[in-house]
Amino acid sequence: MSDQEYDLKGREIIVVGGGGYIGAHVCKMIAENGGTPIVFDNFQAGHKHAVKWGPYVTVDLRDRAATLAAFQQHKDVETVVHLASSIEVGEGEKQPEGFYENNVSGALNILMAMRQTQADNLIFSSTCATYGETQNMPLLETEVQNPFSVYGKTKLAIEHMIQSYHKAYDLNYVTFRYFNASGADASGDIGEEHDPETHLIPNALKAAAGRGNRMKLFGTDYDTPDGTCVRDYIHVNDIALAHIHAIRAMDEGLSQAEVNLGTGEGYSVLQIIKAIEEVTGLPVPYDVGPRREGDLTQLFANAARAEEILGFTPQHSSLENIIQTAWNFHKTKWGI
């Protein structure tokens, strides 16, 4: 199966947060499948230079009137992908008000605008962080959701709002619970560029390239085989591809689904560092520090439902490809 998965036949699709890391890859995938992404973004975290496949509207989701006006400008659009969010877990613990306002109020404003403009299909980016600490690995979608972080709590609140809109107003939706988005498009022109960057793979690549500080490894005393946290790393183009599958499934009548987006494979922080050293040929200088607040011991998906309901299996998510594409992107960005 290729990334040219489904003919979108020139359809316009609103991508809220389309200037962000995952959003830009979703937009590219929509364009590669014949559609036109219309980006809504306030460009606080997203980048205008990452909007390349269609028009954009600069809009802040916290502004209800402006959000409605943006939807009214594109009132024939039926399908909306919503990825805009505050994502930095530590910041959420310190500034919960801003997190609830941006994530929860912002999502409510989208839902209200969608209802008014009769846009009936929503694909929402939720997170494995909605599950919380549990030994039940791999995680099934039916696992109890008891989020540990404010970030996870905001995403769970949005999941509940979407379910209510489905029940009361016939909104069709697919809620994706992403595991660790990683890697970059093979072209090297879009990739992960958060500021500040908190994620493992870009931070380790930066340290390997000598472009910044030594990496800090947050905790080696976890109850895992090597003492470091275990995560499920899925390539960002697989996440993007899953959205195309979701659009097709909704066109074919799917009206409601919560779906994990992971590979089912867990890697520890030390395994990631080793793989980065192998791919780049460079050592990753790091210091061991204490645990980072909010980190869970291990998270990896049971990925069966995505295959059953959407016919989706990851195509790009070997660890080597994830690291190689992230490395190519960073080298291009740094001009090395």
Distance CA 312, CA 88 (A): 28
The minimum distance between CB 9 and ligand UFG, in angstroms, equals: 33
Reduce the DSSP state of residue 108 to 3 states and report it.
helix
The minimum distance between CB 51 and ligand UFG, in angstroms, equals: 21
Answer whether 241's CB lies under 8 Å from 29's CB.
yes
Residue closer to ligand UFG by CB (options 171, 215) is 215
For the chain, where are the alpha helices, taking DSSP H only?
A: 21-32, 64-73, 89-94, 96-99, 106-117, 150-169, 200-208, 236-251, 269-280, 304-310, 319-334
Residue closer to ligand UFG by CB (options 116, 136) is 136
Count CB atoms within 10 A of the CB of residue 229.
24
Of 151, 173, 178, 267, which one is the catalytic site residue?
Answer: 151
Residue closer to ligand UFG by CB (options 109, 203) is 203
Residue closer to ligand UFG by CB (options 172, 268) is 268
CA 293, 299, 302: angle at the middle one, nearest 5?
160
Residue 151 bears catalytic tag: yes
Residue closer to ligand UFG by CB (options 67, 203) is 203
**Residues contributing to the site for ligand UFG (CB under 6 A):** 87, 89, 127, 129, 151, 180-181, 198-200, 203, 215-218, 229, 231, 269, 292, 295
The minimum distance between CB 200 and ligand UFG, in angstroms, equals: 4
Residue at shortest CB range from ligand UFG:
229
Which string of DSSP letters, residue by residue, matches 209-264? TTSSSPEEEE-S-SSSTTSS-EE-EEEHHHHHHHHHHHHHHHHTT--EEEEEES-S
Count CB atoms within 10 A of the CB of residue 152.
23
Answer whether 61's CB lies under 8 Å from 102's CB.
yes
Residue closer to ligand UFG by CB (options 33, 154) is 154
**So which residues are the catalytic ones?**
151
